Structure 1
């Protein structure tokens, strides 16, 4: 049985509100075990006999059926989340900047987003792998940063989601707890 981290896109913002207790209840009908939600921003760790592709399919189907919205998630193995956290060259805690990792279920869309960020200029970003890139935003100005506005475009909605590095550290640790 493998451990996974599932990152929901766009919940508890923009009118799609899901209580984590309700999400956990809905997921009981899925082929998952050890389900644990983290924070209210849509982070879940779980175990399953399914591979990552099928965890994604089942999870999205559950969200659509239970909560009635066009749901998208990014699914990574627990081991891959740990690798991405370790590979991030930016600090988890810094008073002047915030470190983010954008995760993607479609590497081609992340390629496009990364290249668009490069074209913007002034974006401190690094590619961590085919499914992730890390970037910095000024403290207190994340939502107003040009790259944040770019990554929020509808074009990227179905395939990418962004998390603060501190959140990914919490997800990594929770997924590791599932394995022990």
Structure 2
């Protein structure tokens, strides 16, 4: 089965790694047809194992190799397609659209945090098919109240986010 592992916190805040090295860790852990998409920690691969088993295997392999606490979220090709196809927002050159990949029910935690946050004009959030989507004006991602909440240490093992365009690139590699 084809999968994508979405790694959290790669090539930000001092956690720097070459995607070629990450791919090698995946290969050494028994994954097949391993390739990276962008430098933000999106690894496409195939395996006969279940996603929940792969998460444990790959987090341990990454943690051991890179000496950091790795968090990643594994999704099948079908699940990855849902991130793209369920997007409730219309593309707009002035806005970023993010989808969040994470633990079960994390979308409800994110929505509660979003509802409690101050919002900028055109900043919106929706949950579609158990996926949390966030639309934010370009240039406001890290400055918005919700954007700052996303860096909370208490949430670091719960989710990672990707721009909706990243899902399109990942899916092209999965085909």
Which residue of structure 2 lines up, in the alignment, with residue 125 of structure 1?
A: 125
Q: Is the 8 A contact 2:111 2:132 kept in 1?
A: yes
SS of aligned partner of 2:133: strand
Matches within 5 A, 1:54-73: 54-73=53-72
Count of paired positions:
172
Per-residue deviation, residues 12-68 of structure 1 (Å, max 9, x unmatched)? 001111100111112221121111101110001111010000111111011011101
Indicate whether 1:98 and 2:63 are aligned: no
Which residue of structure 2 lines up, in the alignment, with residue 115 of structure 1?
A: 112
**Cα displacement (A) at 1:119:** 2.3
Unaligned stretches of 5+ residues in structure 2: none
Unaligned stretches of 5+ residues in structure 1: none
CA distance in 2, matches of 1:91, 1:45: 27
CA distance in 2, matches of 1:35, 1:163: 20
CA distance in 2, matches of 1:136, 1:71: 27
Indicate whether 1:52 and 2:61 are aligned: no
CA distance in 1, matches of 2:53, 2:93: 40
SS of aligned partner of 2:107: helix
TM-score (normalizing by structure 2): 0.92
Per-residue deviation, residues 74-108 of structure 1 (Å, max 9, x unmatched)? 1111111102210101234x22111011111242x
Matches within 5 A, 1:1-180: 2-92=1-91, 94-107=92-105, 109-120=106-117, 122=119, 123-130=123-130, 132-175=131-174, 177=175
CA distance in 2, matches of 1:14, 1:149: 14
Q: Is the 8 A contact 1:73 1:159 kept in 2?
A: no
Greater shift in the superposed pair: 64-73 or 149-158: 149-158
**Cα displacement (A) at 1:121:** 5.2
